[in-house]
Every structure is written in structure tokens, then in C-alpha cells.
Amino acid sequence: MGQVDPGRLSRRKRSPDRNVSRNLEICRDQGIGEKRVMIELPYSLIIEATEEPDYFGFYSPDLEGFTGIGHSVEDCIYKAKWGMKEHAKLLSQQKLPVPMKNPNPKIIVQNEKDPEQWGRLASG
């Protein structure tokens, strides 16, 4: 047998996916309870899955004109993190209004909007 991972939770403490605690109180008891930012984006992000399994589009409803593409959800988040900063910087340089950062940004992953479907729904 190999060495036991010291970061691994005991059977009683871990959830079915093995390394995630069943109880958040356990994390607090271990000194992990300080506030941790999970979404490190200045603005909300919407990621749309396409028919292609390795092609995603993304945009921010908080940051007008900001869009991009990625090959996975993780790729989109990575590109958005740096792209949002660059987009805001460009807006500032062009003396255009830069929206305030969202204190509680959200990441939404959804299917791509089908323009034909939206037209059928609107016409009733």
C-alpha cells in the first residue's frame, strides 16, 4: 500500500464523492472557515453550450460588448477572468462608462439560444 494522503477526509467525514466534506461545520473546525471567494470574476458570466461538444460561447450581462468563445466551461471561465479585466480597461481608456463590479457574480451554463425557437414562442 502507498502513503495515505494527509488532506484526505476519513470515511465518516467524507461525502460519496470522496474528498468533499459531508458537513460544512467540519471544515470550520479544521480552520477552513474563513471567507473564500469561489467565483473570481468581476462580473456575472453566461456560458452557452452549442451543438459542438467542444465549443462554448460566453458573455457577461453586466459588461456590455463582452463576448468570447472557449473549448470547455473551464476554458470559458479562464478566458473571461482575464478578458473582463482587459475589456474594462479598454472601456476606461476610451473614456466610456465602466460598470461597477458585481459583488455577487454568478456563472450560468445553459444551452445556446435558438433564434427560431424564440420566434415561435413569441408568435404564440
Give the model's confidence band at 36: pLDDT under 50 very low, under 70 low, under 90 confident, else very high: low
Q: 59: helix, coil or strand? A: strand
**DSSP structural state of residue 101:** P
What domains, with CATH codes, occur in the chain?
9-37 (no CATH), 45-112 (3.30.160.250)
Report how far residue 58's alpha carbon sits from residue 62's, in angstroms, rounded to the nearest whole number: 12
Task: Name the DSSP letter for residue 4.
Answer: P
57 in Cβ contact with 109 (< 8 Å): no
| Residue 22: pLDDT over 50 | no
Specify the pLDDT at position 9: 54
Q: What is the pLDDT of residues 98-115, one digit of tens each?
A: 999 999 999 999 998 765
Task: Give the span between the Cα atoms of 90 and 96, in whole angstroms.
Answer: 9
pLDDT at 117 over 60: no
Which tens digits make up the pLDDT trace of 3-19?
555 555 555 554 444 44
Question: How confident is the prediction for the chain on average, in pLDDT?
Answer: 77
Top-confidence residue, 64 or 20:
64
The Cα–Cα gap between 60 and 68 comes to 10
Query: What letter does residue 80 receive in the DSSP assignment?
Result: H
Query: Quick one: cell of 29?
Result: 473546525
Count CB-CB contacts under 10 A for residue 46: 19
Cell of 117: 425557437
The 10s digit of each residue's pLDDT in 69-100 is 999 999 999 999 999 999 999 999 999 999 99
Q: pTM value?
A: 0.63
Among 56, 54, 36, residue whose Cα is nearest residue 46: 56
